Structure 1
Amino acid sequence: MHGNGGNISHRGDSLAIFHRLGFNVFIFDYRGYGRSDGVPGERGLYEDAATAWQYLVEQRGFAGNDIVLFGRSLGATIAAKLAAEVEPAGLIMESSFSSARGFAQAVLPLLSRMVVMRYRFDTAGYVRRVTCPVLVAHSPDDDIIPFQLGQAVYAAANQPKTFLTMQGDHNSGFLQSQPGYEQGLREFMSSRVFGGQEGVTKNN
Structure 2
Amino acid sequence: MWSSAVVVAGYGDSQPGEMLENNVVNDCVQVYKWLQNRTESPIYIWGHSLGANLATSTVARLDQNANLTGLILEAAFTSLTDELYFHPYVKYLKWLPWFWDTVVKPLQHNGFLFDTTKHIEMVQCPILFLHAKDDEIVPYFMSQALYTASKKRNVSEWVLNDTKLVLFNAKIGLNHYFIYRDSFTFFHILLKAKSDHVLCCEEQNIAVLCQNSLKLLKLRNYASVSVLRWRNIGQTSLDVNTNVIKDVILYKSNNDRFFKMVNFFGIAQFGFWTYLSLTAYQTLKDIPVSQSTESVWWRKINFGENRWRNSLTIISFLIGWGILAVSWLYTLRAVKYLILRKGGQQATIVTYTPLGPNRMFTLDLANVSSTQSRTAATSFIPLKVKGHWFYYMIDMKGEFRNTVLFDHTAGLKRLRRTTNVPGCDYACFYVYGRFLLNI
Secondary structure of 2:61's match?
coil
When normalised by structure 2's length, the TM-score is: 0.33
The partner residue of 2:178 within 172, 177, 189 is 172
Of the candidates 105, 114, 121, which is equivalent to residue 114 of structure 2?
Answer: 121
Q: Counterpart of 2:175 in structure 1: which amino acid?
A: D
Shift of 1:29: 7.9
Matches within 5 A, 1:46-125: 46-58=25-37, 60=38, 62-63=39-40, 66-86=42-62, 87=65, 88-107=68-87, 108=91, 110=95, 113-114=100-101, 115-116=104-105, 117-118=107-108, 119-125=112-118
Cα separation, partners in 2 of 1:170 and 1:55, compared to 1, 3 Å: same
Over 3 Å counting, the alpha-carbon distance change for 1:84 and 1:144 in structure 2 is same
Counterpart-to-counterpart distance in 1, 2:186 and 2:138: 21
> Which whole-Å CA distance do the structure 2 matches of 1:101 and 1:36 have between them?
31
CA contact (8 A) 1:76 1:96 kept: yes
In the aligned structure 2, how far is the partner of 1:98 from the partner of 1:30?
Answer: 28
Relative to structure 1, the CA distance from residue 171 to residue 36 in structure 2 (aligned partners, 3 Å threshold; closer, same or farther) is farther
In structure 1, how many angstroms separate the alpha carbons of the residues matched to 2:140 and 2:14? Answer: 34
CA distance in 1, matches of 2:19, 2:6: 10
Task: Name the residue aligned to 1:5.
Answer: none
Q: 1:29 to 1:91 in 2, by over 3 A?
A: farther
- Residue 157 of structure 1: CA displacement? 1.2
User: For the residues of structure 2 that align with 1:51 and 1:184, how far apart are their CA atoms?
Assistant: 29
Please state how far the C-alpha of 1:152 moved relative to its aligned partner: 1.4
Q: State percent identity of aligned pairs.
A: 24
Q: Conserved in 2, the CA contact under 8 Å of 1:137 and 1:165?
A: yes
**Is the Cα–Cα contact under 8 Å of residues 130 and 179 in structure 2 kept in the other structure?**
no
Task: Show structure 1 runs of 5+ residues with no match.
Answer: 1-27, 191-203
Report the CA distance shift for 1:179/1:128 in structure 2 as closer, same or farther (over 3 A): same
Aligned with 2:8 (options 31, 40, 53): 31
Displacement of 1:90? 0.6
2:23 is the counterpart of 1:44: yes
Indicate the residue corresponding to 1:162 in structure 2.
164
Paired letter, 1:174: Y
- Please identify which structure carries the higher helix content: 1
Give the letter aligned to residue 134 of structure 1: I
Gaps of 5+ in 2: 152-159, 195-420, 422-439
CA distance in 1, matches of 2:120, 2:140: 17
Alignment match, 2:140? 147
Answer whether contact 1:98 1:149 (CA < 8 A) is retained: yes
Task: Name the larger-Rg structure.
Answer: 2
What do you get for the CA RMSD once the two structures are aligned? 3.1
Conservation of the 8 A alpha-carbon contact between 2:179 and 2:185? no
> Which SS does the other structure have where 1:165 is aligned?
strand
CA–CA separation in structure 2 for the residues paired with 1:110 and 1:188: 46
Distance 1:182 1:47, change over 3 A: same
Pair 99,125 (structure 1): closer, same or farther in 2 beyond 3 Å: same
State the alpha-carbon separation in 1 of the partners of residues 136 and 26 from structure 2. Answer: 29
